[in-house]
Structure 1
Amino acid sequence: MNSTANRLRRWSRNVHRELSFFFSGMLLIYAVSGLVMNHRDTINPNYSVEQRRYVVGEPLPARDRLTRDDVVRLLAPLDEADNYTKHYFPESDVLKVFLKGGSSLTVRLSDGEAFYEKLTRRPVLGAMTRLHYNPGRWWTWFSDLFAVGLVAIVASGLLLLKGPKGLRGRGGMELAAGIAVPLLFLIFF
């Protein structure tokens, strides 16, 4: 029996080591993007948002005389003239300009007060968080393999240590606590 247990431990150690190395990159990607997604109210994972208030230096024509060319001229100091898509008036005195890529400019015509919001894509972080939303069939296969790999890592890790630090000792208590925390959260929150 002792040799069987030793073979099982040796096999568990090898499985645990190899799968841990293979899936560690994915664990890091999910951990970082998961942290960002948990704090979406303070960190936008897809876009960096730059906001700027200023006053337009030139006098603005009245709403009924404002042309597309006038609006494009307002965008020139922001280097956004080529990104104009459309504009409208959400209020009688307020001009809202939409730009390619999601950026926008809001201008109060009476006093020229402007609010510019520039959105810039976060290519790495945005791509990492996209993986949480299952971007395609190929990803389903890999994420299923990842889930099975995590189960194998856990199962092999539980068999690595014996005695008071193993599953029948401190390790077992830590395992029970690790299961209890999410269950208590689900029950009470």
Structure 2
Amino acid sequence: MSSAVCLVGMLLFAVTGITLNHAHQIPAQKSTLSKEGVLAEQALQNIALPDSDTAPLSRDLRIQIRRALGVYLPANAEAEWYGDEVYVPLPRPGGDAWLSLDLTTGDLLYEKTSRGAIAYLNDLHKGRNTGAAWSWFIDIFAAACVLFSLTGLWLLVRQRNNRPGTWPAVALGVVIPVIIIVLFVH
């Protein structure tokens, strides 16, 4: 059962392990989307400046920005408040995005960059900018893989008399990485 639960995740993590090892050889499929707009004067006047340099945007301001640009901003996105500008970093797997609002003119500038599907999958592998749900998934998946490996080891122990070549193969699986680390990883 543990192998059935782990099947797709193990394939995904094995393939992205290869793509991460060869990231310098895989060309990125970079694309950038830019949007410009102006916040309505009424919305601009209703902005309440926060007490600190970093604070999320109010719900009303996020709605106004969505109307002006068609861009969804999550409620937990931490904005950086400067004297006359608000900058909202919006990191995401496989790319990046940001929004800038000029508090004096209402000018909005949004940019979203994507580095392609492989970069997206690589970031999922690393859990980079993926949020709590994905972080929980990869932790639970890792625990399932540990369970899968330990139950496999337990089966090897139970079948040791029927398969005499098992333990040399297990020892080789330990020795080869150790030798590579000692001799070639600096």
Bigger relative contact order, structure 1 or 2, given CA contacts below 8 A and separation 6+?
1
TM-score when normalising by structure 2: 0.47
Q: Which has the larger radius of gyration?
A: 1
**Bigger fraction of residues in helix:** 1
